Amino acid sequence: MKPSAPPPSERSRVRRAEDRGHYDRETIHAIVDAAYLCHVSFVDQRGPLCLPTAAWRVDDHVLIHGSNGSQMMKSLAQGTPACLAITHLDGLVMARSAFSHSMNFRSVVVHGAFEPVPDADKEEMMHRLMDHLAPGRRLEARAPDRNELAATTVLRLPLFEAAAKIRAWGPKDKEEDLSWPVWAGVLPLAQVRQTPRAEACIPADIPTYVQAWAEQQPGPA
Amino acid sequence: MKPSAPPPSERSRVRRAEDRGHYDRETIHAIVDAAYLCHVSFVDQRGPLCLPTAAWRVDDHVLIHGSNGSQMMKSLAQGTPACLAITHLDGLVMARSAFSHSMNFRSVVVHGAFEPVPDADKEEMMHRLMDHLAPGRRLEARAPDRNELAATTVLRLPLFEAAAKIRAWGPKDKEEDLSWPVWAGVLPLAQVRQTPRAEACIPADIPTYVQAWAEQQPGPA
């Protein structure tokens, strides 16, 4: 696979195993859309931090949110330099030689600075998070009220300085190892949706979108 | 759940949703052991970075490895301040109110500095990675030779300044939202092992440990 777009910046260029790098919008969006969470790096008085948080995409931004009181939200809202990563692990790659073992994965790494979503857009952005988690549910759940929205910081990071990295194939052994008498292949891993578990007091009727969620098993793009 | 050990440092203390914080070794080890990869944050001339990489635990350290030529390995080998995170997403939590939606997860965040594993211990540490990926396979795969070991940097980070954070329950709605007429519960997610895929040229006999891998489905601790 050849990258169909050039790296947007030098620091976004995939340098190890360059053939796994992709910079086109479609590939990057697909990897972000397959995720429910990301890891965000930034630096505060504690040193470098790497924290997991919920993530969703709206157009050319990846969004995160949290309480106004969160130190992470406060630091990132100021536009402090940040890096965001999303990684899907798709398998363990068993080569003939220990050295050539690898993993299949799809990742996106984004450099940049977050900016706060303006108050006027916050409600719509939170609806979009719900659409990402459980399409259809925003019509039924109790909508956020003014106080809840006011207590929430929503931040967005442009998907501009972004690079995807993908490995999606079997082992690549050295020529001289190919005859080594050992099983070789891929041990595939997938994030699988399991049967929804209702709260004890909930009536037995499962709404269509909950049923649909469990029946739909998104895989690698 | 009450934490059974105190936070090892102020920056390791879980500050948002404190009741989800755990600092005991057993909880932290179980979350690290359930992972094949981590995200590592540090700062170089490119700014803060957040990069995914393979991870495994040996005693009270979490280990990573890479080519000597990797910029990440070079920076981290110098003991630059770092933060490592491992996150397992276990479910999407559907509350009655949009605001109370959440996720079930198990995460570990570690602060500190990596140090290189001494040359004399590198081979054993790489064996331990293989034991983590596919127990039994190290006896069959072509072992790393001297050049391969020399080309590999193995780094370890003490699991000392570490905090686990766990959410593993249903929605927690506000009292006044409990009667809202909407389905509520958990949409569970799990990383599932799928059927191993052999390379085309591999004989049909699947070794015991490959078969065992697919049949064993580790879940949340």
A97 with B144: Cβ contact below 8 A: yes
**Which of A42, A99, A178 would you mutate first to test chain B, the one with the most B CBs within 10 A?**
A99
- A193 contact partners, CB below 8 Å, separation of at least 6: A213, A214, A216, A217, B187, B188, B189
A93 located within any domain: yes
Eight-class DSSP state of B170: -
**A52, A83, A96 member nearest B142 (Cβ):** A96
Q: Give me the helices (H) in B66-198, please.
A: 71-77, 119-133, 146-150
Banded model confidence at residue A219, pLDDT cuts 50, 70, 90: low
**Which of B37, B94, B104 would you mutate first to test chain A, the one with the most A CBs within 10 A?**
B94
Chain B positions in Cβ-Cβ contact with residue A143 (cut-off 8 Å): 98
Q: Residue B220 has what pLDDT?
A: 62
**Alpha-carbon span A142 to A113, nearest angstrom:** 32
**Alpha-carbon span B25 to B28, nearest angstrom:** 5
A167: which strand partners? Answer: A105
Chain B positions in Cβ-Cβ contact with residue A208 (cut-off 8 Å): none
One-letter identity of residue A66:
G
B43 with A43: Cβ contact below 8 A: yes
| Contact of A46 with B13, CB cutoff 8 Å | no
Q: Residue B46 has what pLDDT?
A: 92
B182 located within any domain: no
Eight-class DSSP state of A169: S
Q: Residue A206 has what pLDDT?
A: 83
What is the number of domains present in chain A? 1
What is the pLDDT tens value at each position of chain B, 221 positions in all?
Answer: 445 789 999 888 888 888 899 999 999 999 999 999 999 999 999 999 999 999 999 999 999 999 999 999 999 999 999 999 999 999 999 999 999 999 999 999 999 999 999 999 999 999 999 999 999 899 999 999 999 999 999 999 999 999 999 999 999 999 999 999 999 999 999 999 999 999 988 876 788 888 888 888 776 64
| Contact of B13 with B157, CB cutoff 8 Å | no
Q: Residue A41 has what pLDDT?
A: 98
| B49: its two tokens | 């970075």
CA closest to B95 among chain A residues: A141
CA closest to B91 among chain A residues: A193
pTM of the complete model:
0.95
A127 located within any domain: yes
| Contact of A32 with A86, CB cutoff 8 Å | yes
**Alpha-carbon span B125 to B119, nearest angstrom:** 10
A183 located within any domain: no
**Alpha-carbon span A98 to A96, nearest angstrom:** 7
Q: pLDDT at residue A188 above 80?
A: yes
- B188 contact partners, CB below 8 Å, separation of at least 6: A193, A194, A195, A196, A197, B90, B91, B104
Number of residues in chain A: 221
Q: pLDDT at residue A59 above 80?
A: yes
Q: How many CA atoms lie within 13 A of A131 on its CB side?
A: 10
Eight-class DSSP state of B205: P
**B43, B141, B194 member nearest A189 (Cβ):** B194
> Tokens 């910081």 belong to which residue?
A153
Q: Name the percent of chain B in helix, strand, coil, to the closest 5.
A: 25, 40, 35
A25 located within any domain: yes
**A47, A83, A138 member nearest B98 (Cβ):** A138
Angle at A56 between CA A107 and CA A212, to 5 degrees: 100
Q: Give me the helices (H) in B78-200, please.
A: 119-133, 146-150
DSSP A109-159: EEEEE-EEPPHHHHHHHHHHHHHHHSTTGGGTSBPP-HHHHHTEEEEEEES
A179 located within any domain: no
Q: pLDDT at residue A153 above 80?
A: yes
Interface ipTM > 0.90: yes
Q: Any idea what the CATH number is for the domain that residue A49 is in?
A: 2.30.110.10
Domain that holds residue A66: 10-172+194-215
Eight-class DSSP state of B206: P
B215 sits in which H/E element: helix B208-215
A59 located within any domain: yes
**A50, A109, A192 member nearest B83 (Cβ):** A50
Greater confidence, A206 or A32? A32
B221 located within any domain: no
Closest CA to A84 of B163, B85, B91: B85
CA closest to A10 among chain B residues: B46
